[in-house]
Amino acid sequence: MSDEFERANLALARALIEVYETLRLICLYLPIPVRLPRVVEYDLNEIVPAVERLIEIIGDQPNMGEEDQSLIWGSAINWTAAAKLYSRYIEIRGNFVSRLELEVLIETAGRGLLDYLDNEEDTSKE
Closest CA to 55 of 75, 35, 73: 73
Task: Please calculate the CA angle 113-87-81 and round it to the nearest 5 degrees.
Answer: 35
pLDDT of residue 42: 66
pLDDT of residue 84: 93
List phi, psi (to 5°) of 77. Answer: -65, -45
For the four alpha carbons of 108, 19, 75 and 91, in that order, the dihedral sign comes to positive
pTM: 0.91
| Length of the chain counted residue by residue | 126
Q: Regarding the domain delimited by 2-125, which CATH topology (the fold level of the hierarchy) does it fall under?
A: Four Helix Bundle (Hemerythrin (Met), subunit A) (1.20.120)
- What is the residue extent of each domain of the chain? 2-125
pLDDT, mean of each 10-residue run, the chain (126 residues): 82 94 97 92 85 97 95 98 91 85 96 95 74
